[in-house]
A = this chain, B = another copy of it.
């Protein structure tokens, strides 16, 4: 029997519904939010029961920073956006997840935050796969 390397980690049902898997990083699963209004990525550390970044071990905190900033840099290069918005909120979904969003002047809700703004607009399959390919190549 193979060991359970993820130690019982199970993705939150709401995150599973709202986003799709893009690739695996060292600590996190990188996911794309299925909302074509903004290029919006999620990093989900594979650690069960953790809600706050400061509750990760120091090594995991460093890994999360490294992976988040690598992803943010790639997303900015791929999209040519004005500004990256990153954050860990978790008021609704408590499982720790970090948002990395490409924002541009005039996008929906600009210059306000994306969270809670209107309703999610799913991608057309071609557009989703095009963005996923670009992000994968940039990483």
Seen from chain A, the residues whose Cβ lies within 8 Å of a Cβ on chain B are: 51-54, 61-62, 64-66, 68-70, 72-73, 76, 82-92, 94, 99, 103, 110-113, 115-116
Q: Of B65, B82, B112, which contacts A61 at CB under 8 A?
A: B65
Which of A52, A73, A89 gathers the greatest number of chain B CB atoms within 10 Å?
A89
- Distance of A126 from chain B, by nearest CB (Å): 29
Q: Of B51, B82, B89, B110, which contacts A113 at CB under 8 A?
A: B89
- Distance of A91 from chain B, by nearest CB (Å): 4
Kindly report how many copies of this chain are found in the complex they form together.
2
Closest partner residue, chain B, to A93 (CB atom): B111
- Distance of A93 from chain B, by nearest CB (Å): 10
